[in-house]
Amino acid sequence: MKILVISGPNLQLLGVRKPEIYGTVTLQDIENDLQISAASLGMNISFFQSNHEGEIVDRIAAARGEQIDGIIINPAAYTHTSVAIRDALEAVAIPAVEVHLSNIHGREEFRRKSLTAAMCIGQISGFGPDGYRLALQALAYRLNRRNQNNI
């Protein structure tokens, strides 16, 4: 199985930006942890980070041609604003899990609405960096179940 992890704007600043909300773990730390977790699950994993909406849309579109089996996406601020990312997720129809380090539903009102979550099989928020590992496990479970049941 091939999994793509997409990280949106400002996530390259993890560990420095608002550690009281996002913690001190860096994006590289999260990617290293996911690499180990993916290997233990027999999955191949690749990573993409961009601060630019169009680049994220292009990367999602390219995933279909690469036969990516699942996507883990943290659209960051684009969660709340990007119809384009939502539409790209819908168009490729690749099972995706939306991840947020903080509990977006317990934060400012504008952060509580996700435009992208409806195009995902689920959303994990509020578990910090562990949310990425939980998303990977959820995708592995769902993809294995789909393959076993041929659904």
* Chain segment 108-147, per-residue pLDDT in tens: 676 678 999 999 999 999 999 999 999 999 999 999 887 7
The structural domains of the chain, with segments of one domain joined by +, span 2-149
| pLDDT value for 150 | 59
Q: How many CA atoms lie less than 13 Å away from 102 in the CB half-sphere?
A: 20
Q: Is the pLDDT assigned to residue 62 strictly greater than 90?
A: yes
Q: Which residues are designated catalytic?
A: 22, 100
Q: Is the pLDDT of residue 12 over 80?
A: yes
**pLDDT recorded at residue 15:** 85
pLDDT in tens, 13-27: 988 877 777 778 899
- Cα–Cα distance for residue pair 78/60, rounded to 1 Å: 14
The domain 2-149 is classified under which CATH number: 3.40.50.9100, 2.60.260.20, 2.40.128.50, 1.10.10.10? 3.40.50.9100
Average pLDDT, the chain: 92
